[in-house]
Structure 1
Amino acid sequence: MQKIYLVIGSLLAGLAVALGAFGAHGLKKIVSSETVAVYQTGVQYQMYHALALILVGILSDRIYNGFVSYAGVLFVAGVILFSGSLYLIVSMNAMNKTVPTALGILTPVGGLFFILGWVCLIVGLLKK
């Protein structure tokens, strides 16, 4: 399982760099600075949790228990829901489309998954 976390973490980190570059150079030409800030929040949290996923992959080799593994799953789900929803909201704003309320609800759910992932990681480390 650790190899999967290492690969997914590396892919998410590389994608965060590419998305961040787009946000810094291309996106600011088509949306407001407030919207770019929302997008950058998504990129930052994606990078933080991509690195956390790489950490989970490394720790999975040394500490094998379900909590460490659950942390990885929760980090991936958090990136998809938190960062993904922010990217969709910004994309819809850029296209002058109405953002559905349900889409905005995904962001805090993704944030909750991040928090639960960190809690699982702590519990997994303490159970060693």
Structure 2
Amino acid sequence: MKETVLAFGALYGGLAVIFGAFGAHALKKRMSDDLLKSFETGVKYQMYHAIVLLILPQLLTFSSTLEETTGWFFIVGVLLFSFSIYGLCLTSMRGNKWRFLGPITPLGGMLLVFGWILLLFSII
């Protein structure tokens, strides 16, 4: 599990740099300020949690279900939260917003919050 968490941390970190650059350069002139801020929020949360995923194996042994669930909540939470924001922003920019992604964003956010709560329980 440690390798999986580290791999996702590295993947999400690299993608956050790519998506951040894409937003700052390719989308800046084509996207409204509100959509660009939302896109940037997805990038920020992705990078914050990529760093958490890189640190997590230093804090946890992943020898319990609680610790493994913590890692999966962060991994899946980032995927659902950030990537649904990217999808909503990109499709809104083209005037064909994929509304089905709307409920996925808060679900991802909830998983991230639960990941933090489980991390707390894992440590204490």
Tell me the TM-score normalized by structure 1: 0.90
Unaligned runs of 5+ in 2: none
- Structure 1 residue 119 corresponds to structure 2 residue 117: yes
SS of 1:31's partner is: coil
Tell me the TM-score normalized by structure 2: 0.93
**Corresponding residue for 1:105?**
103
**Which runs of structure 2 are paired with 1:12-23 in the superposition (5 Å)?**
12-23=12-23
Equivalent pairs, count: 124
Contact 2:88 2:97 in 1 (8 A): no
RMSD of aligned residue pairs (Cα, Å): 1.3
- CA-to-partner distance for each residue in 1:13-67, whole Å, 9 max, x for gaps? 0110110011111111111111000000000000111111112222234x63322
Q: Work out the CA distance in 1 between the residues paired with 2:56 and 2:89.
A: 30
**Corresponding residue for 1:65?**
64
**Which runs of structure 2 are paired with 1:86-105 in the superposition (5 Å)?**
86-100=85-99, 102-105=100-103
**Corresponding residue for 2:79?**
80
Q: CA deviation at 1:8?
A: 1.0
**Corresponding residue for 2:27?**
27
Give the % identical residues.
38
Where in structure 1 do 4 or more consecutive aligned residues deviate above 3 Å? none
Unaligned runs of 5+ in 1: none
- CA-to-partner distance for each residue in 1:44-102, whole Å, 9 max, x for gaps? 000111111112222234x63322221110011111111011000011012210332x3
**Corresponding residue for 1:45?**
45
Of 67-76 and 34-43, the range deviating more from structure 2: 67-76
SS of 2:98's partner is: coil
